[in-house]
Amino acid sequence: MLKLSQTIDIDPDLDISYFETYKIKANVSGAPTSVSLQLETLNGDGLGYWNYYVDGKANSDAITKNMSFDVAEGKYISSNIYPDDIYPEIYFLPSSVTWNNIPLLMSARRSNYHLMHFSNPFTMTASSSFFIEINADPVSSVNSADLDVCLVEKGKVASFFNADWRNSSDLELVASFGKNAAKHHIHSANSAHHLVRLATNEDGTIGSNNLDISDDFWIILYSNSPNSNRGWNLAYQVGDSCMNADNRWYIGNQSSWGGMTSQVGRPDAHIHLARRDLSYLDGISATTTALYENEIVTENDVFYFSELPNLAPNPTSFISPVAGSIYDGDSITVSWNPATDPNEGDNLNYNIYINDGSATTTLVASSTATSYTWDISAVNDGDYTVLGEVCDDATTPICSQFYLIDSFEINKVKPIYSLSNFSIYSSNPGTPLAKAGDTIYLSFESSGSVNPSVSFFSGGNAIGNSPVLSSDSNSWTVSYLVDNSDSDGTLDYVITASNLDQEYSSSTPITIDNTKSSDVSVNYGSGSYTSNISVTLGSVGSSWIRYTLDSTQPDCQTGHIYVDPINISSDTNLKVVACDEAGNQSNLLDLSYFFSSSGGSGGKIRKVEKLELSGDSLEKVIEEAFQMLKKKKDPMDINKLKEILKYLEQKIKEINETKMETKIESPRFIFTKNLSYGMTDKEVKLLQKLLNEKNYSLAESGAGSSGNETDYFGNLTKKALIRLQKNEGVRPALGYFGPITREALKRKGWISTNH
């Protein structure tokens, strides 16, 4: 047998702080026809898995690569061994999906920050590396705000994010990427990543807030602008891969600190861990296979993370200046929190840089202090950003950067004023919704003379019509007419002025709704009829339907509100429109019904009805009726008779089927009016009883629970009603108990109406 000498090396040595590509090199004797490499990550926790989905499900496969002979080194080499092949990983989707499939994009901005929940099956140890990879790009390379990345410690459920989490000690800002920040690495045209490098503290926690991420953790992506044109796009994949990871990706809403929505799809975001604790012995197993003409020779070697390398200091954050603020006077105090370092005994020093939009100036160099008084007496007015750098004192220093979230302004033109007493409302009464044609009014007061510029954004996009400003001394009113081109969604505003102390921006309680109600459907179209008809109306997505029977034009405020089918027995002009909560009106439905006299063929019609109800065939009666009308030589009457007989045949079929059904007991719940949030009425109590009885309970105990129903229509009633509306197909599901909801429940036999 051929005696072979084969050894394996890794270049560079395994280093938990190194996040670049490695090479595997092998000495192989003889002339093999091919050499391949198989890599498996070693999990020091003693498990046979090293890659996991975000819900904790293991998904680990060995990596196989070809090796090529390098003439210069005289070895077989496999290059481009990525960190994905080396470091244990937690992901929504593996690289085989994200690298090879074109992603979709989801906006990331202040009004819809992203929340990603990761299970963590790895034991957290001291001085380990923790890498976060995010595939996100700024919408605009000119004016996108920074993308902030926050880490949230273990044990948090989704409801934690229904309140303002930004100043919580249970999370930490771990990175901010500016609009011009380059991706750390590019895998393919479909996938490239920003990289956040972190190192654990001596107790295995992360950051200055000592976040415990040992069992699970959250990642937040947040861009400090309500405007989608200044936000970022997060890449994600659709499909059924890893369906058990549902409820791991959410969109939050800063406008209400409430509307947490679980997303469908998988973000291109993942986590790597690299531990050097010798009691865990993380590493990789490398196996080479050399194929010869008559034999196959394999060799294996194992590489561990051993000596602790010099790790970068943990980044810190600025205390002042404050992003978005305006500074005057002769100086600004620039201060920051002390940084920490994963290597014991390292001394830290700081570099601080100021950028005015065109040039970067060193403000502080190699200082151990954590504050500096900046003389701005000779500094030009304008917008500035500040960047910090903390470095250790190693022979070859390693540095980490930290950031101010956004720019600040120097404006020494005195005085600087502020705004207060904000108020906003819509001309659309009784609802937080506004539609095209409504006017929005924003009012505020300034502490001195300013010349403000006001911008509105609906659904994150600029509005169609320009705002109109007026003032009375320092009291300001801004109005704008909602245009039909305005995007549906939350209304935001931004106010700026050269002598304001900051940019004022906020989301408002007003939602733009320009989506028109669908046209009304009807069971009987215009035409001639010989007996009473019961007209049923419907409209998907509307809140109510109004109609008239006297040829007048209905609209969203006038006309009868449709509740029950309309009985028509004489010549009638029926006009109908559908409306939603914002007052958007459907196209007009204009119907004309005509009724012929009861003589002539009327006797034959009654005969048909009598014969059918007694079980006789219709064929003989129809033939007799046709013969009768032929003698009259009136083809129009024949067509009328055809319509009538077709209608009677259907109605008789329904009657016969109804006779076979079990008699339904009359419902106990009788409603006479519309019910909405904030009302106090005895029928609210009936509604609560109905909801509790039909398993849409308001509460397990206390007010609103079964047996403790009240007359007040509050938030519990609204939420329970919305659940019922969604399950029973009532649209829109807004928690308004109106004619559409009552009609749906009446058809189910749950309620009756008295109107």
- In the Cβ-directed half-sphere of 262, how many Cα atoms lie within 13 Å? 8
Tens of pLDDT, residues 230-286: 889 999 988 655 444 568 999 887 766 766 788 888 999 999 998 877 677 788 999
Rg (CA), the chain: 36
* Alpha-carbon 39 to chain mean position: 38
Question: How many helices and strands, by DSSP H and E, does the chain display?
Answer: 8, 52
Helix axis angle, 602-613 relative to 635-660, nearest 10°? 30
Could you tell me the CATH superfamily of domain 669-753?
PGBD-like superfamily/PGBD (1.10.101.10)
Q: Is residue 717 predicted with pLDDT exceeding 80?
A: yes
**CB within 8 Å of 313: residues ≥ 6 apart:** 339, 340, 341, 342, 346, 348, 390, 391, 392, 398, 399, 400
CA distance linking residue 689 with residue 244, whole number of Å: 36
Please return the burial class of 455, using the count of CB atoms within 10 Å of its CB with bins 0-12, 13-18 and 19+: middle
Please answer whether residues 637 and 720 qualify as being in contact, where contact means their C-beta atoms are separated by less than 8 angstroms. no
Q: Is residue 442 predicted with pLDDT exceeding 90?
A: yes
CATH architecture type of domain 521-595 = Sandwich (2.60)
**CB within 8 Å of 472: residues ≥ 6 apart:** none
Kindly write down the DSSP assignment for every residue of 302-370, as one continuous string. Answer: EEE--SPP-PPPBP--EEESPTTBEE-SSEEEEEEPPPB-SSTT---EEEEEEE-SS-EEEEEEEE--S
CA distance linking residue 93 with residue 59, whole number of Å: 10
Q: Is residue 611 predicted with pLDDT exceeding 50?
A: no
Tens of pLDDT, residues 146-186: 899 999 999 999 889 888 888 888 999 899 999 889 999 99
Please answer whether residues 203 and 125 qualify as being in contact, where contact means their C-beta atoms are separated by less than 8 angstroms. no
Q: Which segments within 464-583 are labelled E, that is strand?
A: 468-472, 475-481, 489-496, 504-512, 521-522, 527-529, 533-535, 537-538, 544-548, 560-561, 566-568, 572-579
Q: How confident is the model at residue 461 (pLDDT cuts 50, 70, 90)?
A: confident
% of the chain exceeding 90 in pLDDT: 42
Amino acid 616: pLDDT: 45
CATH architecture type of domain 318-410 = Sandwich (2.60)
| 517/627: higher pLDDT | 517
Amino acid 307: pLDDT: 58
CA distance linking residue 29 with residue 351, whole number of Å: 53
> 726 pairs with which residues across the strands?
none
Q: Same CATH topology for 521-595 and 669-753?
A: no
Annotated domain spans of the chain: 7-88+277-304, 91-270, 318-410, 419-512, 521-595, 602-660, 669-753
Token couple for 503 = 């940019």
CA distance linking residue 116 with residue 266, whole number of Å: 10
Tens of pLDDT, residues 577-594: 999 888 888 999 999 999
Please answer whether residues 6 and 38 qualify as being in contact, where contact means their C-beta atoms are separated by less than 8 angstroms. no
> 399 pairs with which residues across the strands?
391
Least confident interval from 155-164, 348-357, 633-642: 633-642
| 637/243: higher pLDDT | 637
* Alpha-carbon 152 to chain mean position: 18
CA distance linking residue 193 with residue 147, whole number of Å: 13
Amino acid 578: pLDDT: 93
Q: Which segments within 166-241 are labelled E, that is strand?
A: 171-177, 185-186, 192-199, 216-223, 232-237
Residue bearing tokens 């004619």: 739
The dihedral formed by the CA atoms of 216, 222, 226 and 230, expressed in degrees to the nearest 10 = -140
**Alpha-carbon distance values, 458 to 226, 489, 634 (Å):** 10, 6, 61
Give the fold, CATH level 3, of 419-512.
Immunoglobulin-like (2.60.40)
Provide the whole-model pTM. 0.51
Please return the burial class of 412, using the count of CB atoms within 10 Å of its CB with bins 0-12, 13-18 and 19+: middle
Please answer whether residues 450 and 500 qualify as being in contact, where contact means their C-beta atoms are separated by less than 8 angstroms. yes
What's the whole-number mean pLDDT along residues 91-106? Answer: 90
Cβ atoms within 10 A of the Cβ of 732, count?
Answer: 19
Please answer whether residues 270 and 92 qualify as being in contact, where contact means their C-beta atoms are separated by less than 8 angstroms. yes
Least confident interval from 67-76, 464-473, 728-737: 728-737
CATH architecture type of domain 7-88+277-304 = Sandwich (2.60)
CA distance linking residue 319 with residue 337, whole number of Å: 7
